[in-house]
Amino acid sequence: MAFAEDLLNDAHHLAARGGKSPRQSSLRRGVSTAYYALFHLLIADFVVNWKTKDQRARLGRMFEHRKMSQAIFRFKSGTLNPVEADLQTVIAAFAQLQDDRYTADYDVGTIWSRTDIASTLAIAEAFVAWRRIRKEKIAQDHLMTMFGARRA
Amino acid sequence: MPKVPAGVVRQSEIAEAVAEVERSLAPDVAHIRYEIATDWSGDWAIYFRVVLSDEASQQRLRDIATKVVGRLADRLDFQALDLFPYHHFRNESEQAVLRDAAWA
Nearest-angstrom CA–CA distance, A92 and A83: 14
Domain count across chain A = 1
Residue A64 has what pLDDT? 87
Q: Is residue B27 part of a domain?
A: yes
Residue A124 has what pLDDT? 84
Is A11 within 8 Å of A121 (Cβ atoms)?
Answer: yes
A85 CB neighbour count, 10 Å cutoff: 13
Q: Is residue B1 part of a domain?
A: no
Task: Say if B98 is an interface residue toward chain A (CB within 8 Å).
Answer: yes
Q: Is residue B102 part of a domain?
A: no
Q: Is residue B99 part of a domain?
A: no
Task: Say if A24 is an interface residue toward chain B (CB within 8 Å).
Answer: no
N- to C-terminal Cα separation, chain A: 28
- In tens, the pLDDT along A19-45 reads 878 999 999 999 999 999 999 999 999
Residue B2 has what pLDDT? 61
Q: Is residue A35 part of a domain?
A: yes
Residue A75 has what pLDDT? 76
Task: Say if A110 is an interface residue toward chain B (CB within 8 Å).
Answer: no
Cα dist from A120 to A11, A50, A82, A98, A150, whole Å = 10, 31, 23, 11, 30
Q: Which residues contact A125 (CB under 8 A, 6 or more apart)?
A: none
- What is the residue-wise DSSP string for A39-63? HHHHHHHHHTT-S-GGGHHHHHTT-
- Does the global pTM surpass 0.90? no
DSSP H or E segment with residue B61: helix B61-75
Kindly report the nearest CA distance between residue A29 and chain B, in angstroms: 17
Domain that residue A86 falls in: 2-147
Phi, psi values for residue B36, rounded to 5°: -100, 125
- Helix A2-16 × helix A126-133 angle, to 10°: 170
Is B7 within 8 Å of B45 (Cβ atoms)?
Answer: no
Residue A1 has what pLDDT? 57
Residue A67's closest chain B neighbor by CA? B41
- In tens, the pLDDT along B43-94 reads 899 999 999 999 999 999 999 999 999 999 999 999 899 999 999 999 999 9
Residue A140 has what pLDDT? 92
Q: Is residue A44 part of a domain?
A: yes
B54 CB neighbour count, 10 Å cutoff: 14
Q: What's the CATH code of the domain at B11? A: 3.30.70.1350
Task: Say if B94 is an interface residue toward chain A (CB within 8 Å).
Answer: yes
Cβ contact A113–B41 (<8 Å): no
Instruction: Calculate ∠ Cα A62-A128-B18, nearest 5°.
Output: 95
Cβ contact A99–B57 (<8 Å): no
Domain count across chain B = 1
Q: Is residue A152 part of a domain?
A: no
Residue A66 has what pLDDT? 83
- In tens, the pLDDT along B20-31 reads 999 999 999 999
Q: Is residue A22 part of a domain?
A: yes
Residue A105 has what pLDDT? 94
- The pLDDT profile of chain A, 152 residues, written as one tens digit per residue, is 589 999 999 999 999 998 878 999 999 999 999 999 999 999 999 998 899 999 999 999 998 888 888 787 777 777 889 999 999 999 999 999 999 999 999 998 899 999 999 999 988 888 999 999 999 999 999 999 988 887 76
Q: Is residue B32 part of a domain?
A: yes
Handedness of CA A134, A140, A142, A145 (dihedral sign): positive
Residue B81 has what pLDDT? 92
Domain that residue B82 falls in: 6-94
Residue A152 has what pLDDT? 67
